[in-house]
Amino acid sequence: MGKFWRRFCRNKLALAGLIVLVWFVLSALFAPQLAPDDPNRADLRQRNQPPSREHPLGTDDMGRDILSRTLYGGRISLAVGLVSAGISLTIGVFLGALAGFCGGVVDTVIMRLADVFYSFPFLILAITISAIFGPSIYNTMIILGILSWPGPARLLRAEFLKFKTTDFVAAATALGARPARIMFRHILPNAFSPLLVSATLEVAAAILSEAGLSFLGLGVPPPAPSWGNMLNRARPLHILSRMPWMWIPPGLAVFGVVLSINFVGDGLRDALDPRQEQSSPLGSQAAD
């Protein structure tokens, strides 16, 4: 763990991304304590107000506090990203492990199914399914999770194909271990590193997709605050040109979270790669 943390800290962008990400997560968790007002309380007398002492980030076209909605929006956007990534990884891990370990017809069927998902533009398919089932936070989580499984499945399949011919798998098979035990007890822990990096990128992609669907009115339905919903409210040209406080905070929030997650993913990839330790100056000195 110590070596992992030292390798991770060498990547300054990854460390900065982790700090920013933790700040966003804590802001979302403690939104009730940090928010100056109820995010859904409308006050038409205070509508379209610029930043002030009472409303640090201004108000929207219904008089709702932008800072409060940004904080609470982080809860929904991050939750959608985490849950949908969890669904995607659960499906991808099971199908990818099955395809890589069993091979043959099972591998062919699963990979051709993944090809079918890849043959459709992701956002167009998500918009179509959301339009059919209606906008809902739970529908958004499920749709994004189900549509995103081919990536983790292909990654894990490649790892299983690499590890299932190794000596420790042959030894476990000779000792009579069941296939399920070999798959999830012996091979999966060794394939965990690239899967962890993939998980961080899945979360970032899900947050972006949720923001896009909500921006189009097909994601999280109003009045629930999400960063995509807030951007959707700021679509009119007069708001974009004259009231930047309505779209800059949620836009920066999406940008900051996605960028920090990508930096953390890069840092995890480097920290979990044993070749980084061998090629580093510290590794060379230790060898001497």
| pLDDT value, residue 287 | 37
| pLDDT value, residue 284 | 38
| pLDDT value, residue 274 | 54
CA torsion, points 79, 85, 91, 96, in degrees to nearest 10? -160
What CATH architecture is 11-43+56-274?
Answer: Orthogonal Bundle (1.10)
| pLDDT value, residue 254 | 92
59 three-class SS: strand
Q: Which residues pair with 59 in a beta bridge?
A: 65
Closest CA to 196 of 77, 89, 82, 110: 89
Closest CA to 36 of 60, 62, 64: 64
What are φ and ψ of residue 145, in 5° steps? -65, -45
From CA 231, how far away is CA 227, in angstroms rounded? 6
Pure H helices in 134-279:
137-147, 150-163, 167-174, 179-181, 192-215, 227-233, 237-242, 248-271, 274-279
pTM here is: 0.82
Q: In whole angstroms, what separates CA 253 from the centre of its chain?
A: 14
Q: Is 204 exposed, middle or buried (0-12, 13-18, 19+ CB in 10 A)?
A: buried
pLDDT per position in the chain (288 positions), as tens?
677 788 888 888 989 999 999 999 999 999 999 998 889 888 888 888 999 988 999 999 888 999 999 999 999 989 999 999 999 999 999 999 899 888 889 999 999 999 999 888 888 889 999 889 888 889 999 999 999 999 999 999 988 888 888 888 888 888 888 888 888 888 888 887 788 888 888 898 888 888 888 888 888 888 888 898 888 888 888 888 889 999 999 999 999 999 999 899 888 887 876 555 544 444 433 333
Closest CA to 114 of 87, 154, 78: 154
Cβ contact 73:159 at 8 Å: no
